[in-house]
Structure 1
Amino acid sequence: MKKILLLSILSAFIFSGFAQEIPRFNPDTIKTITLDSVVNIKAERLNIETFINRIVNDTSFYESFRDMKRYSFIAENRIFSYDKKNKVDGKIYRKIKHSNAGQYKMEYLMKEESGNLYKKNGKYQLYTIEMFDYIFMNAYNTDFIPNAPASDGKGGTNEGYKNKLKTLIFNPGRPVKVPFIGSKTEIFSANMRQYYDYTFTSGTYLDSIPVYRFKVSVKPDLSSWTKDGIMIKELVTIFDKRNFNILGRYVDMKYGNMLFDFDVKMNIEMGYFGEDKLPTKITYQGNWDYPFKKEERASFLIVHKDYKLEKGK
């Protein structure tokens, strides 16, 4: 069971840089921010703990995904899978209209698929794609249906994994009960802080929003052995200066041992729509390798647009 759990957690979002990278799928930084200058946080009456506490205790980032159920919107989803030579061997493109006016409806405006994507039973060939689809693209519609019952983590294999995935994606810095990984996610613990540098930069997000960029990165002068044991290589968080809302998150994770290897780059960006903060772009790229399983390589670009708040929502 522990091996199955580990496989599911990793395969949901573990991807690495490919020899043939597609620039728009390479989330090396949050692209929609223009940086101005390094910030002296003491002069602005802030401190490191202010930013760390906000990251660890924030729930609004996940709630933004839940708030989507009050809106109708268009989603464009592009997924690529790769073979061992980094050549594309599977493609998925979906343009979907999610309508929450009355009873929820999902309409495919365009759907294109090619390559080696599915098993004989109709499930995805790559478990990476299946779990990503479950969490972000809502293959089973659960998170978009108004008043859907909340999962208690006991409603089946995917439901149990889903809660742990949410912690890894939406609450970085917290411990996750995953074999061989758990404490490595606690980058703000007293023990882990010695391995990281913290930098603060002022900038402008989406051409008009004043923001802080808080970057946590592994110290460059650490030994190779020490660096190899650190899972989260970099975590970048974008804060709205006006209200300290988190508008963007980029994470770079890499780790390997005798049982598995993974390397993931992930970027999530938000935008304001009325009084709500909603996801506008999600990008992933990377690979994972696990014994007795085919090595999986994939990249994703998810764009949400044309949000419309429905009456009574």
Structure 2
Amino acid sequence: MGKIISTSFCLILFTFGLKAQQIQRYNPDTIRTIVIDSAVNIVSHRLNAQDFIDAIVNDTSFYKAFQNMKKYAFTAENRIYTYNKKNRVNGRIYRKIRHENVNGKHQVTYLAKQDTGAVYKKNGKYQLYTVEMFDYIFMNAYNSGFIQSDGTSAANKGKNAGYKAKLKALIFTPGRKISGIPFISGKTEIFGKDMRQFYLYEFARGKYLDTIPVYRFKVIRKPSTSDGDTMIKEMTTIFDMNTFQILGRYIDMKFSNMFFDFNVQMDIELNRFEGELLPTKITYQGNWDIPFHKEERASFLIVHKDYKKE
């Protein structure tokens, strides 16, 4: 039973990959949205590394931004590419969706919908579990339109629900120990006393989206550290300089052993609309490969725009 549980969670956790391919994959990197002015002497700003760490570990607004979507009409434009073993594109999913609340009920209007290539299984379900995981983690407020259901995703129930919750915690509350992840639970606690020795901290300041003054706090694995000592290779967090709220997060995670091999990069960006934080862009690329399961490779680009409070 323990082996089954371990395999199930690995299947859920490591869904995206980075290798050469025929088309350019999305390159998730919050830094690219920021013009860096200079490295920061945080002492002169009356800040220290622990201030940033405490803000990351205790933050709730980043996840709340996704819950805030329920109060808004918006347009979601979603692209997914899947890849075969030779890293050639073998499936494409495109959705352009208008989300609105009509008479107190959520309404979805498909402005565009197209699937090509190896997208579905013979039973009509999607080939990749990656798609279901995206819906569960990032679209709690609204169904993304990828899942064929009545609005209640299968990801919200069943024997794997607890493991999916752990994955969500890893993304939205990084830096904490997440018990129950096979072989790597302790490696998620990158600010803990056992893991700090493997990381360097870098500070900079700049402009986010050309107008918002921000701090960039980067946690990077030391070059001298062995690959097996860490799971999170880099985590970059963007802070509003005035409010200290988190506006963006980039995570690079890689790990390999006899049980699984994964490599995932993801970026989440927020912006304010009428004073409220809301998600604007999510990008991913990655792979997972574990014994007795088909390897999955995919890249995502998710854009939310035209927010209007209802």
TM-score (norm 2): 0.90
User: Using the alignment, how far apart are the partners of 1:211 and 1:269 within structure 2?
Assistant: 13
Q: Quote the residue 1:135 is aligned against.
A: 137
Q: Quote the residue 1:89 is aligned against.
A: 90
What is the RMSD computed on CA atoms of the aligned residues? 2.2
User: Using the alignment, how far apart are the partners of 1:240 and 1:96 within structure 2?
Assistant: 30
Q: Quote the residue 1:163 is aligned against.
A: 165
Q: Quote the residue 1:54 is aligned against.
A: 55
**1:231 equivalenced with 2:234 (yes/no):** no
- SS of the equivalent of 1:112 reads strand
TM-score (norm 1): 0.89
**1:173 equivalenced with 2:146 (yes/no):** no
1:191-234, Cα deviation, whole Å (9 max, x unpaired): 11011000000110011100000000011133xxx223310000
**1:243 equivalenced with 2:243 (yes/no):** yes
The sequence identity of aligned pairs, in percent, is 62
Of the structure 1 ranges 17-26 and 267-276, higher mean CA displacement relative to structure 2 is found in: 17-26
Answer whether contact 1:39 1:200 (CA < 8 A) is retained: yes
TM-aligned CA distance change 1:239 to 1:38, over 3 Å:
same
Q: Quote the residue 1:184 is aligned against.
A: 187
**1:309 equivalenced with 2:309 (yes/no):** yes
Q: Quote the residue 1:209 is aligned against.
A: 212
Q: What is the CA-CA distance between 1:181 and the residue it aligns to?
A: 1.9
TM-aligned CA distance change 1:171 to 1:308, over 3 Å:
same
TM-aligned CA distance change 1:44 to 1:22, over 3 Å:
farther
Of the structure 1 ranges 2-11 and 101-110, higher mean CA displacement relative to structure 2 is found in: 2-11
TM-aligned CA distance change 1:246 to 1:303, over 3 Å:
same
TM-aligned CA distance change 1:12 to 1:137, over 3 Å:
farther
1:260-295, Cα deviation, whole Å (9 max, x unpaired): 100000000000001200000000001010111111
Q: Which of 113, 122, 135 is the aligned partner of 2:124?
A: 122
Q: Quote the residue 1:149 is aligned against.
A: none
User: Using the alignment, how far apart are the partners of 1:309 and 1:249 within structure 2?
Assistant: 25
Q: Which of 94, 110, 113 is the aligned partner of 1:111?
A: 113
Q: What is the CA-CA distance between 1:138 and the residue it aligns to?
A: 5.8
User: Using the alignment, how far apart are the partners of 2:55 and 2:100 within structure 1?
Assistant: 33
Q: Which of 192, 197, 200 is the aligned partner of 1:194?
A: 197
Gaps of 5+ in 2: 145-154
**1:220 equivalenced with 2:223 (yes/no):** yes
Of the structure 1 ranges 162-171 and 209-218, higher mean CA displacement relative to structure 2 is found in: 162-171
User: Using the alignment, how far apart are the partners of 1:5 and 1:74 within structure 2?
Assistant: 37
Which 4+ residue blocks in structure 1 deviate beyond 6 angstroms? none
Answer whether contact 1:200 1:213 (CA < 8 A) is retained: yes
Gaps of 5+ in 1: 143-152
- SS of the equivalent of 1:157 reads coil
Answer whether contact 2:8 2:160 (CA < 8 A) is retained: no
Q: Quote the residue 1:290 is aligned against.
A: 290
TM-aligned CA distance change 1:155 to 1:133, over 3 Å:
closer
TM-aligned CA distance change 1:24 to 1:16, over 3 Å:
closer
Q: Quote the residue 1:150 is aligned against.
A: none
User: Using the alignment, how far apart are the partners of 1:227 and 1:68 within structure 2?
Assistant: 38
User: Using the alignment, how far apart are the partners of 1:286 and 1:259 within structure 2?
Assistant: 17
**1:43 equivalenced with 2:44 (yes/no):** yes
Answer whether contact 2:78 2:302 (CA < 8 A) is retained: yes
User: Using the alignment, how far apart are the partners of 2:271 and 2:11 within structure 1?
Assistant: 28
Of the structure 1 ranges 116-125 and 260-269, higher mean CA displacement relative to structure 2 is found in: 116-125
Of the structure 1 ranges 171-180 and 23-32, higher mean CA displacement relative to structure 2 is found in: 23-32
